[in-house]
Copies of this chain bind each other. A is one copy, B any other.
Amino acid sequence: MPSVTVEDYLKQIYLEQQSAPGGLVSMGRLAEVMHVVPGTATAMVKSLAESGLVSYEPRSGVRLSRGGERLALGVVRRHRLVELFLVRTLGMDWSEVHDEAERLEHAISDKVLPAIDRTLGYPQFDPHGDPIPPAHGRPAATSAGALVSLSDCRAGDQVRVSRIMDQDAAFLQFADRHGLTPGTTLTVDANDTVADALTVRDGDGRSLTLGASAAGKIQVEPG
């Protein structure tokens, strides 16, 4: 059994790898997301490499091995299923489930997880629109159709919110309050690159203006 710490390192390496050049994660970046000093990350990664869970090239970076990826996907799967379960079955708030899942993902066994999965009807996406890795095998290449960032949309575009790429409670509460949840359809009214602001309108005609960095966290499906 990998320790909670090992599971967390593998998960973070997996998540960083998704958006890393060459799928190689630097020690600095890993240390940052793990909230440890760089020396600690180096030491841990060395021991993960000895266990065959990652391949590590000093002064270059770390990447998951096949086995490491398998474990990481398991953690991510537990995390995302738990998030959805907390929202759907226990009626908890979208904005607070991330932190809860952060602890529960390490305590859910292979007996409990299938029960949760069944209760939820074998879902494919968590409340933020992040794909839930399948129990066996690799996740589907891209979740479903090519997603683009809302900040890349132009005035007149009609889009469907697919994924919120931020786990910060304040941002999620804001998004929830203004209907920026996966599944919502929006029309882009304006995207002023000079002012760095983007205005969208929802089905009820309510409009909302976002800064570029906020809009950048919202992934949409064109259509």
Contact = CB atoms under 8 A, between A and B. Distances in A.
A140 interface: no
Contact of A90 (B92, B103, B116): B116
A100 B111 contact: yes
A89 interface: yes
A89 B107 CA distance: 18
A96 interface: yes
B112 A107 contact: no
Of the candidates A90, A103, A106, A119, the one having the most CB atoms from chain B within 10 angstroms of its own CB is A90
Contacts of A100: 109, 111-112
Copies in the complex: 2
B115 A90 contact: yes
A106 B115 CA distance: 20
A82 to B, nearest CB: 10
A112 B89 contact: no
- Interface SS of A by simple majority: loop
A107 B115 contact: no
Contacts of A92: 111-112, 115
A104 interface: yes
Contacts of A71: none
A83 to B, nearest CB: 12
B91 A111 contact: no
Interface in A81-131: 86, 89-92, 96, 100, 103-104, 106-109, 111-112, 115-116, 119
B109 A90 contact: no
Contacts of A119: 89-91
A89 B115 CA distance: 9
Contacts of A103: 107, 109
Interface of A: 86, 89-92, 96, 100, 103-104, 106-109, 111-112, 115-116, 119
Given A100-B111, A104-B107, 12 more contacts: A86-B112, A86-B115, A89-B89, A90-B112, A90-B116, A90-B119, A92-B111, A92-B112, A92-B115, A100-B112, A104-B112, A107-B107
